[in-house]
Amino acid sequence: MEPVIAANGLVKKYNGKAAVKGINFSVEQRECFGILGPNGAGKSSIAKMIYCFSPVTQGDLFVLGMNVREKQRSIKERLGVVPQENNLDTDLTVLENLIVYGSFFKIPTRTVQEKSEEMLGFFELLDYRNEKVDKLSGGMKRRLTIARALINSPQILILDEPTTGLDPQARHLVWQRLRRLKEQGVTLLLTTHYMDEAEHLCDRLVVIDEGVILEEGQPKELVLKHIGKEVLEVGRGAEIVDEILKVGGTDIKGFKIVGDMLFVYPEDGQTLIDRLRPISDSFSHQMLRHANLEDVFLKLTGRGLVE
Amino acid sequence: MNVYRPDLSPLIWQVFRRHLLVYSRTWKVSLSFNFFEPLFYLAAFGFGLGAYVQPMEGVSYVKYLAPGLIASSAMFATAYECTYGIYIRMEFQKAYQAIIATPAGVDDVVMGDMLFGAFKSVLYGFVILLVIAAIGLVSSPWALLIPPVLALSGLLFAAVSATWTGLVPNIDSFNYFFSLIMTPLFLLSGVFFPLTDMPVIVQKIAWISPLYHLVNVTRGLVSGMVGIYLLEDVVWLLITAILLIPIPIFLLRRLIIK
């Protein structure tokens, strides 16, 4: 089946400075595709080109088989957009926000009204339908922004950092709803700098940094491929890294130094802990935990995702 | 795609309708504020100062002044809308950015904003027309033609104001727009006194003032002194509006799309 989004040699420059440096990727129908990277990696630039807000500088970008350079109105007709910054209409009520937004699509007024009610129910906002937007909490504003993006029953929903700035509870509510949408057959493309968000939601993702794709694959596979199952964090391990490697021997598959911390990728965590016991007095602490995408990013770039 | 050619669609009407919906909540307050100011001018200058002033162009001063105030209050209403109004929606509310994610394009949004600016010209000018008609200062049914002329001049004022917004997108800059451009226009476009006795240079400058042409038309229509020369003013307004409207669309698009 033809991909719903296809980027080929995609470049975005702002005043000659490249934010996206010739990337290739494709998104299949009904999948949740993630773009994971730190702030300033080029995630929003990619999202904005897909929803025809930012012009493409070079390369090709096709959405639903249409060129973003030519068919902007037709593409936008079938997309839902959740921008990074909430831009709800503060002059209008919650319900009016959906209805007015819906009026820009080729949908009958009656359908817009029904869909608005349905979306407010789906995002648990019905009680606030006649409130001004300013009265809503951060989490509710975000849910309303997503509800608004769904008013035209889009084939693809673009979410630019959907949960940045939300508290954990609000994030989980958003995630639940996004999973339900995926079950209903909506293709999701989301950018995020939260590795747990990417792991929770994405079937497939690209890891990007400074405008280039570093890796691509399923979250679990990427972690297994680069790190393994577990990570042993050794406090102040950086100072005695040679000794640790010597004692650990073949039980250590790889490692990464960050500040005075040492991240060790063991064959088997408990075995390694036992083996390092003779020298463990010189660690400030040690912790064995599951490996995650943050470790992958750290290994690939030497930096964390959230600075 | 030619970047200088506006890419417009019927969705500009949805932009207009959104503004109308919001305005339908606040029209009483905003209309009365904008409505009192010209009335103060009419009272102070027309009736107050007018008592000491000899008739102008054959009519009492208050009768001379009143149609000019239709034009000036229309101009100011549009100018506020297309400076502060556009800027706040664009910069603070990010309403432009939201609408552009729908099938509407940035050009549709700017054009819808200008249409709404023109609507304010019609509304505020028409209200003043009603008031001066009620106090007996309108002498001709030709005055019924004033609203469509206000719609035309409103588009022109909208284009001029939105151009400033596109060039100097900064809330403090709007003070300069009003004190350096709008106020001189207001004072030197024949609202308060005829320009025929002014030095030629002032008359030449007045010719490039949209308000001057609008005042000629409103005064002619209110007094019933109608002639083919009024068409010259209307054509001037029409041509200038057509020439200027693409400029703010280009400027504001450049600000929003990066």
8 Å CB contact of B95 and A104: no
Judge whether residue B17 has pLDDT over 90.
yes
Domain assignment of residue A298, yes or no: no
8 Å CB contact of A76 and B99: no
CB A289 within 8 A of CB A231: yes
In this structure, the strands spanning A156-160 and A58-63 are: unpaired
Residues B110-168: tens digit of each pLDDT: 999 999 999 999 999 999 999 999 989 998 999 999 999 999 999 999 999 999 999 99
Please report, as a single letter, which amino acid is at residue A268.
D
Domain assignment of residue B6, yes or no: no
**Which CA distances in Å does A142 have to A162, A169, B1, B180?**
7, 13, 35, 43
Q: How large a percentage of chain B has pLDDT more than 90? A: 70
Domain assignment of residue A306, yes or no: no
Give the C-alpha separation, B197 to B67, whole Å: 20
Nearest to B105 among A54, A72, A77 (CB): A72
CB B211 within 8 A of CB B75: yes
Count interface pairs A-B at CB distance under 8 A. 63
Q: Where are the beta strands (DSSP E) in chain A?
A: 5-14, 17-27, 32-36, 58-63, 66-67, 79-82, 156-160, 187-192, 204-209, 212-217, 230-234, 252-258, 261-266, 286-290
Q: What ipTM is given for this predicted complex?
A: 0.89
Question: Same domain, yes or no, for A286 and A157?
Answer: no
Domain assignment of residue B2, yes or no: no
C-alpha dihedral sign at A109, A110, A114, A120 = positive
Question: Same domain, yes or no, for A117 and A197?
Answer: yes
Residues B223-256: tens digit of each pLDDT: 999 989 999 999 999 999 999 999 999 999 999 9
Judge whether residue B38 has pLDDT over 90.
no
Calculated CA dihedral for residues B234, B235, B238, B243, nearest 10 degrees: -140
Residue A27: domain span: 5-218
Give the C-alpha separation, A237 to B213, whole Å: 82
Domain assignment of residue A90, yes or no: yes
CB A240 within 8 A of CB A279: yes
Top-confidence residue, A22 or B55: A22
pLDDT at A264: 92
Give the C-alpha separation, A60 to A72, whole Å: 14
Residues A124-137: tens digit of each pLDDT: 999 999 999 999 99
pLDDT at A220: 94
8 Å CB contact of B100 and A83: no
Judge whether residue A259 has pLDDT over 70.
yes
8 Å CB contact of B101 and A81: yes
Q: How many domains does chain B have?
A: 1
Question: Same domain, yes or no, for A122 and A238?
Answer: no
pLDDT at A98: 97
Q: Please give the backbone phi and psi of residue B55, each rounded to the nearest 5 degrees, phi first.
A: -55, 145
Which CATH number covers residue A254?
A: 3.30.70.980
Considering only CB atoms, which residues of chain A are within 8 Å of chain B? 14, 51, 53-55, 72-74, 76-77, 79, 81, 83, 85, 87-92, 96, 100-101, 103-106, 149, 152
Residue in B158, B160, B172, B209 with CA at minimum distance from that of residue B187: B209
Determine the 3-state secondary structure of A93 from DSSP: strand
pLDDT at A306: 66
Q: How many domains does chain A have?
A: 2
Domain assignment of residue B1, yes or no: no
Judge whether residue B45 has pLDDT over 90.
no
Nearest to A89 among B25, B95, B103 (CB): B95
Judged by phi (left if over 0) then psi (alpha if -120 to 50, else beta), residue A64 lies in left
Question: Same domain, yes or no, for A63 and A13?
Answer: yes
Question: Same domain, yes or no, for A139 and A282?
Answer: no
Q: How large a percentage of chain A has pLDDT more than 90? A: 75
pLDDT at B29: 81
Residues A43-93: tens digit of each pLDDT: 999 999 999 999 999 999 999 999 999 999 999 999 999 999 889 999 999
Which CATH number covers residue A172?
A: 3.40.50.300
8 Å CB contact of B22 and A91: yes
Question: Same domain, yes or no, for A34 and A145?
Answer: yes
Residues A150-197: tens digit of each pLDDT: 999 999 999 999 998 888 998 999 999 999 999 999 999 999 999 889
Question: Same domain, yes or no, for A235 and A141?
Answer: no
pLDDT at B2: 65
Domain assignment of residue A151, yes or no: yes
CB A170 within 8 A of CB A163: yes
8 Å CB contact of A53 and B14: no
Question: Same domain, yes or no, for A37 and A162?
Answer: yes
Mean pLDDT of B182-201: 90
Which candidate in A103, A151, A159 is best for mutational testing of the B interface (most B CBs within 10 A)? A103
Domain assignment of residue B7, yes or no: no
Residues B57-82: tens digit of each pLDDT: 888 999 999 999 999 999 999 999 99
Judge whether residue A109 has pLDDT over 60.
yes
pLDDT at A307: 56
Domain assignment of residue B52, yes or no: yes
Domain assignment of residue A35, yes or no: yes
pLDDT at A13: 96
8 Å CB contact of B103 and A88: no
Residues B76-101: tens digit of each pLDDT: 999 999 999 999 999 888 888 999 99
Residue B119: domain span: 12-256
Calculated CA dihedral for residues A217, A223, A226, A227, nearest 10 degrees: 180
Give the C-alpha separation, A16 to A78, whole Å: 31
Helices (H), A43-186: 43-50, 72-77, 94-102, 109-122, 138-149, 168-183
